[in-house]
Structure 1
Amino acid sequence: MTQTPVAPAVPGASTPLGEAGEQAGRESSAERVRVPVRVARGRVASYVALTKPRIIELLLVTTLPAMILAAGGLPRWSLVLATMVGGTLAAGSANALNCYVDRDIDALMRRTTHRPLARHDVSPTGALVFGLVLGVLSVAIMALATNWLAAGLTAAAIAFYVVVYTMVLKRRTAQNIVWGGAAGCMPVLIGWAAVTGSLAWPALVLFGVVFFWTPPHFWALAIRYRDDYARAGVPMLPVVASPQRVAAEIVAYAWVTAGVSLVLWPLATGWVYGVLALAAGVALVGAAHRLHRSTARGANAKAAMQLFHLSNSYLAFLFVAVAVDTLVR
């Protein structure tokens, strides 16, 4: 019986097995391409996380209205862009260097264990170099695109936050956030100086608003994460003082914040700002008193977080009111 000869298999021939092999090869090649891309994206995301973008957003919210008030209207767009970019890089630099210095305690606190250095997603040397480069770029942009006063204030803000607050005050005194919080007030002065090349009383009043707003804002958060700070040995006020004292100080600072905000009304703004600032102040003070009453009942964690979130909205609302009032007038 004659058998029909079978042709030998040809490599790469179009057979189900060959097609499957080609498909597997293509998928393998594609996967080899995707893996480095995912790694690169993850590395970029880790470096971006070092800058604490959510904090930067709040800082920029105070910068632009200060510029609008200083200019008596909209400043030229190129100046706004340069100031915003420089401010973003400066805040990112300060935050990245803060992460570098605080990498030991960040690893101990549940609130911060996700940060890149605590997770070992970024090396300490990488974070240090990254923070320094951002700082140099920010000051250079401010010097070239705005003026030397704004550039000097930018450098001072970075140095104050990293050296005075993070390295000196944070682990040594319960008043750390009171005085260290001055760094977060600097964007107001930087924005004003970028427009005018000088400083004036309205800028200092806005500085005062942010300065007095910072303790109740941050202490409310520290109440929620008291055990974290205690575990890390950081003497935030809620760690070293009684809940009643903390609540009382928050109430006092809330009243001062609201009061200082109203000083701007006759000094540099009109009735639109005055009405909005008064309403916002009532909301802030009311939340502080609710926290005080909750503390007296022995349950203040929920009220503390409500105050924390409201304080964020308060500051944004107040500075938007500055801009709206100026543009309306």
Structure 2
Amino acid sequence: MRAGQRPSGHGFGSPGIPATAPRSDTLLGRATGKVLAYVALTKPRVIELLLVATIPAMLLADRGAVDIVLILSTLFGGWMGAASANSLNCVVDADIDKVMKRTERRPLAREAVPTSHALVFGLVLGVASFAWLWWRANLLAGILVVLTIAFYVLVYTMVLKRRTWQNVVWGGAAGCMPVLVGWAAVTGSLSWEPFVLFLVIFFWTPPHTWALAMRYKEDYKAAGVPMLPVIATEQHVTKQILLYSWAMVITTLVLVPAAGLIYAGVTIAAGLWFLIMATQLYRSVRGGAVVKPLRLFLQSNNYLAVVFVGLALDSVLGLQTVWSMFTG
């Protein structure tokens, strides 16, 4: 091998290429890796809730009409807001992400992105989200997304998360905000219907999160995060999951008079299905059986999707509402 050359393999070069001349595919790979690291900061899978919740709320608010441009514009603005909140959350939680196996591959935990850059990235996304929603929808939608970011970062991440087991109970309110943003984008105001949807997600969040925390409670314990499964017995945790599940299902029924027959059928069937799963988990723990809480966590995503898809279909098809059947 001649001087000034590197051995081939691992993308460093090949015979005949000087070591001082970087290969284009290496530069492209690094650039791609950097982009993917910034994308990972936004927690794309978490943002799926935005899509599940926002669209049905907008369709119900504008019942019988589908404004594709407004829906896509609101989703884009909401995505930037959620990406901002998640990126800033990564900045604040960088220290505990490093000690948790579930989060040790996040960009700041493995130092793939400088913390200062991630902070600027998150703040710019937040400002852009507000400006976009104000321009494409209205001021109320923009204000709501700013309140969401502030609550998630300042209240949940910086205050509640490391201090109380009720962190996800009250901090979960940030994840409920997309329905309010979507409704406001259509109407320029708020009414009781989006607040019912808000409460559905509010009561859904603890069972969803605690089921995951049961699986990773040693991670949370090592990080000093007092999630309920860390400080309480499995029987107490699963009892709380069951109670919140009942509150969630009952709340979905409150919206039936304003929705329709499709939503009524879907939400009743899905609610019974979820309550059966939550009850089985509770009884298995009481009986001393080996449980797999992650199954409930995964199925909770399906449950929420089914309920909101049912609402979206009902809103678009415009079938007779249950309320109108009795009022004529």
Query: Deviation of residue 297 (structure 1)?
Result: 2.9
Give 3-state SS (helix, strand or coil) of 1:53's partner.
coil
TM-score when scaled to structure 2? 0.90
Structure 2 residue 32 is the aligned partner of structure 1 residue 41:
yes
1:132 counterpart (102, 118, 123): 123
Aligned pairs, number: 305
Q: Distance in 2 between matches of 1:136 and 1:320?
A: 30
Structure 2 residue 274 is the aligned partner of structure 1 residue 284:
yes
Cα contact 2:85–2:122 (8 A) shared by 1: yes
Q: Distance in 1 between matches of 2:20 and 2:186?
A: 54
Q: CA 1:240 to 1:79, structure 2 compared with 1: closer, same or farther past 3 Å? A: same
Query: What is the letter of the counterpart of residue 102 of structure 2?
Result: R
Give 3-state SS (helix, strand or coil) of 1:217's partner.
helix
Cα contact 2:50–2:75 (8 A) shared by 1: no
1:293 counterpart (283, 297, 300): 283
Cα contact 2:66–2:316 (8 A) shared by 1: no
Structure 1 unaligned blocks of 5 or more: 1-22
Q: Distance in 2 between matches of 1:159 and 1:73?
A: 34
Q: Distance in 1 between matches of 2:73 and 2:23?
A: 40
Query: Deviation of residue 34 (structure 1)?
Result: 1.0
Q: Distance in 1 between matches of 2:179 and 2:124?
A: 23
TM-score when scaled to structure 1? 0.90
Equivalent position of 1:321 in the other structure: 310
1:166 counterpart (157, 160, 175): 157
Cα contact 1:75–1:195 (8 A) shared by 2: no
Equivalent position of 1:252 in the other structure: 243
Query: What is the letter of the counterpart of residue 76 of structure 1?
Result: D
Aligned 1:109-258 pairs, distance under 5 A: 109-258=100-249
1:269 counterpart (255, 259, 262): 259
Q: Distance in 1 between matches of 2:232 and 2:145?
A: 34
Q: Distance in 2 between matches of 1:111 and 1:78?
A: 37
Cα contact 1:224–1:301 (8 A) shared by 2: no
Q: Distance in 2 between matches of 1:25 and 1:321?
A: 62
Structure 2 unaligned blocks of 5 or more: 1-13, 319-328
Aligned 1:59-78 pairs, distance under 5 A: 59-78=50-69
Cα contact 1:90–1:158 (8 A) shared by 2: yes
Query: Deviation of residue 41 (structure 1)?
Result: 0.2
Equivalent position of 2:298 in the other structure: 309
Cα contact 1:60–1:87 (8 A) shared by 2: no
Q: Distance in 1 between matches of 2:74 and 2:36?
A: 24
Detail structure 1 runs of 4+ shifted over 6 Å in the superposition: 26-31
Q: What value does the CA root-mean-square deviation take over the aligned residues?
A: 1.6
Q: Distance in 2 between matches of 1:254 and 1:131?
A: 33
Moved more, 69-78 or 162-171: 69-78
Equivalent position of 2:326 in the other structure: none
Give 3-state SS (helix, strand or coil) of 2:46's partner.
helix
Cα contact 1:150–1:197 (8 A) shared by 2: yes
Q: Distance in 2 between matches of 1:233 and 1:26?
A: 51
Query: What is the letter of the counterpart of residue 295 of structure 1?
Result: V
Cα contact 2:84–2:122 (8 A) shared by 1: yes
Q: CA 1:136 to 1:301, structure 2 compared with 1: closer, same or farther past 3 Å? A: farther
Q: Distance in 2 between matches of 1:287 and 1:211?
A: 19
Cα contact 1:185–1:210 (8 A) shared by 2: yes
Cα contact 1:291–1:300 (8 A) shared by 2: no
Cα contact 1:56–1:91 (8 A) shared by 2: yes
Q: Distance in 1 between matches of 2:316 and 2:47?
A: 24
Cα contact 1:60–1:84 (8 A) shared by 2: yes
2:72 counterpart (73, 81, 98): 81
Q: Where is the helix percentage greater, Structure 1 or Structure 2?
A: 1
Q: CA 1:300 to 1:235, structure 2 compared with 1: closer, same or farther past 3 Å? A: farther
Query: Identity over aligned residues, as a percent?
Result: 55
